[in-house]
Amino acid sequence: MTTKTNSKPRPAGKTADEMGKQQREISVSEFFTKNRHLLGFDNPRKALLTCVKEAVDNALDASEEAGILPEIVVKLEAVGEGGNPAPAVSQATRFRVTIIDYGPGIVREVIPRIFAKLLYGSKFHRLRMSRGQQGIGISAAGMYGQLTTGKPVKIISRTGEKQPAHYFEVQIDTKKNEPIILEKKQIEWEAHRGTQVTIELEGKYQKGRASVDEYMELSAISNPHAQFTYHAPDGEIKVYPRTIQHNPEPPKEIKPHPYGIELGMLLKMLQDTKSHWLAGFLSADFSRVSTETATDICKAAGISPKKRPRDVVGHEAEKLFKTIQATKLMAPPTNCLSPIGEKAILAGLFKQIKGDFYTAVTRPPAVYRGNPFVIEAGLAWGRGPEQAALDAANAQKAPLAEGESHGNDDNELARVMRFANRVPLLYQQSACSTFKAVLDTTWKNYGIPQSRGAPPAGPMVVFVHMASVWVPFTSESKEAIADYDEIRKEITLALREAGRRLGVFIKRRARAHAESKRRDIFELYIEEVVGACKRLKGGNIAESKLRSQLTEIAKKVTGGMKTDALLDKNAGPHGLPHSIIVTPEGIEGEVPVEGPVTVTEAAPAPAAEAPAAKAGKAKKASKKPTAKAKAKPAKKSKPAKKKKK
């Protein structure tokens, strides 16, 4: 609410003059204070997750952009209020969240604005695939902390071994949306390079669905090239080792595609452009518009190609917009996307989830509203041979009653893991296009039970990832992907392909199972028939002779060799691309090579050295000129310029 500047209440109402005086600017930060739910800070538990998520997103983006293999430490500690000792983790209402990355670091000058100014960032103004999009995230987390605990955000950053480490304590001036620096100094820091952020905030820690723990697990799946060390508030330390030893192909920046913009956007671009004439503007500021096409568009719209873009306004601009939308243009370039890739998805799923079968599908790029995107799907199915053996051991030996059946009667439903630009989505599942596509897929076709309007049933994990320069979220808190037809269609196609492979696997396995059962079955039946004969004959038969004779015939009839061949030798992953099959005998398929990472406890300084050295080898991944931090350890390594710009 706005404070009244003129507060003389008059029964007949206010004059326009009085009302005019009440009007004033609202700062973004003030807006946020009242609408924190829009950014994912609706409740203490979610706030804790959002805070971790925003910091980790930034850390990953920065490391990748600098060509450094990400290594990230997430630390949660319960803190007592007002200097009191911290209560039990489940009772704690305040947490200190610390995220350390050994990435490029941030230059001193921009640190305050990155962490204490909303809508300040490097990602909003360019069409390039990245985790963060608006530049709200980390500063919003900091502001939430400030609002709930009054504590500033503490930052340590260092851009290289030769550079000093800077320590900052910053707060946000919520009225002006500007940083207030409470403290800044140079300090000694054990890490040679990287950034550490500490935010204290009101939160609640609880394991399970949509928890920080789940977020860490999912992040490890979608980022197999990163190493995560997670210190849970209860003291547990989990290390998610790296399974892919190179960074993803760095995504390229593209210009907007005309199909993806709205009239208002066009108007703004017309004003802002550096081009001096309209046709030049069209071909220079958009992708897939050649000089010729630009001239054609101008002609069709009845505007001179030589006209100054700034002068194209009102009706003319509208005409131009309509003409552009009606012009046939090539789809936007898709090399700006960097999907996770089938191999890496397999590696991620295989590492984190126990199962019998894994598969991954990366669809070719597609386009929605002028934005290119790629859909990837993965499936992990089964409980893994160890669990199966355990189940068999624990299985009831009691015979089955009429109407009962073997196997699990509990209707476990598949778990759907959703990702957008590698970021796990944990809330609003049912509003998400991915989840709708999972429901839409007819899993019964692949031998997986599914009730109406429900996800498939069984021990299964469904992985869906959307990579795009602009992921259409249903809200700013980035929890669900909007349900565009083009997107849903691609997800469905990817799921079908993955489902088909799973279907083939399940069918094969069932057949092999049946074959091996066949033999035992004859043995059982022979026992029954011999018993019946013995009783019919009043006990007067040569029982063992009859048994061995029948067994002999059974062997001859069923053909031992043939059965063996059918048993499981043909059940390998042949014809199933990008899949892994796990059996008690071993693992077949594209099994990832585990990285030689042997970290058991967070030991920042020395651990930082190892991956940095490796990053140096991954030259392919660091083409960007700014990413000077190729980490030829120590000598002459210039600091990486900026994290956000």
Partner 1 sequence: MAKRHPAVEKKLVGLADLVIDAAARKKDPAIAIPVRSLSNVTFNVKKGFIEMGKNKQMRTFFNVGMAKKFMQTMLVADALNELQKADLTTSLREIYYRTKHTMGDSHENTFDDQAESDPVIEDLEVGLSALREEFHVRAENAGTIIGPVVFEDDGDKVDCAKLGKGGYSVPSIVEEEYLKIKKCTADFVLLIEKGTQWNRLAEDKFWRKYNCILLTGNGQPPRGVRRLARRLHEEKKLPVYVLVDNDPWGYYIYSVVKQGSINLAFESQRMAIPDAKFIGLSSADPESYDLPRNVGIKLNDKDISRAKELMNYAWFQKKEWQVEIKRMLTSGLKYELDALANKDFQYLTKTYLPKKLKDRDWLD
Using CB under 8 A, list all residues that contact partner 1.
397, 399-400, 402-403, 406, 518, 520-525, 527-529, 531-537, 541, 546, 549-550, 552-554, 556-558
Cβ distance to partner 1 smaller for residue 406 or 574 = 406
CA-only gyration radius of the chain, Å: 31
Q: State how far the Cα of 208 lies from the Cα of 535, in Å rounded to an integer.
A: 59
Percent of the chain as helix, strand, coil, to the nearest 5? 40, 20, 40
Cβ distance to partner 1 smaller for residue 88 or 557 = 557
Closest by CA to 246, choosing from 63, 5, 515, 443, is 63
Cβ distance to partner 1 smaller for residue 402 or 601 = 402
Query: Shortest approach of partner 1 to residue 381 CB, angstroms?
Result: 23
Cβ distance to partner 1 smaller for residue 208 or 538 = 538
Provide the token pair at 637.
């390594």
User: How many CB atoms are located within 10 Å of the residue 176 CB?
Assistant: 12
Query: Shortest approach of partner 1 to residue 505 CB, angstroms?
Result: 24
Query: Shortest approach of partner 1 to residue 519 CB, angstroms?
Result: 11
Query: Which residue stretches of 11-109 are H helix?
Result: 16-22, 28-34, 44-65
Q: State how far the Cα of 371 lies from the Cα of 514, in Å rounded to an integer.
A: 49
Are the CB atoms for 420 and 473 separated by under 8 Å? yes
Cβ distance to partner 1 smaller for residue 277 or 522 = 522
Query: Shortest approach of partner 1 to residue 572 CB, angstroms?
Result: 25
Provide the token pair at 33.
């204070």
Cβ distance to partner 1 smaller for residue 295 or 563 = 563
Query: Which residue stretches of 241-341 are H helix?
Result: 263-272, 278-285, 291-301, 314-326
Query: Shortest approach of partner 1 to residue 529 CB, angstroms?
Result: 5
Query: Shortest approach of partner 1 to residue 557 CB, angstroms?
Result: 4
Cβ distance to partner 1 smaller for residue 218 or 550 = 550
Buried b (16+ CB within 10 A) or exposed e, 322-346: ebbeebebeebebebbbbbbbbbbb
Kindly provide the residue ranges of all beta strands, DSSP E only, lying in 126-204, ordered along the sequence: 153-158, 165-173, 178-187, 194-202
Provide the token pair at 404.
């009962």
Q: State how far the Cα of 455 lies from the Cα of 418, in Å rounded to an integer.
A: 14
Are the CB atoms for 338 and 249 separated by under 8 Å? yes
Please report where in the chains the tokens 């001036």 appear, as a residue. 173
Cβ distance to partner 1 smaller for residue 45 or 511 = 511
Cβ distance to partner 1 smaller for residue 169 or 515 = 515
Helix (H) or strand (E) holding 489: helix 485-536
Query: Shortest approach of partner 1 to residue 384 CB, angstroms?
Result: 22
Query: Shortest approach of partner 1 to residue 571 CB, angstroms?
Result: 19
Q: State how far the Cα of 119 lies from the Cα of 100, in Å rounded to an integer.
A: 23
Cβ distance to partner 1 smaller for residue 28 or 541 = 541
Please give the full DSSP string across 623-643, using - where no structure is assigned. --TT------SSTTPPPP--S
Task: Give 339's DSSP letter.
Answer: -
Query: Shortest approach of partner 1 to residue 537 CB, angstroms?
Result: 5
Cβ distance to partner 1 smaller for residue 274 or 556 = 556
Cβ distance to partner 1 smaller for residue 284 or 541 = 541
Query: Shortest approach of partner 1 to residue 534 CB, angstroms?
Result: 8
Are the CB atoms for 416 and 434 separated by under 8 Å? yes
Query: Shortest approach of partner 1 to residue 513 CB, angstroms?
Result: 14
Query: Shortest approach of partner 1 to residue 410 CB, angstroms?
Result: 18
SS3 554: helix
Query: Which residue stretches of 135-243 are H helix?
Result: 137-149, 212-222
Provide the token pair at 366.
């597609």
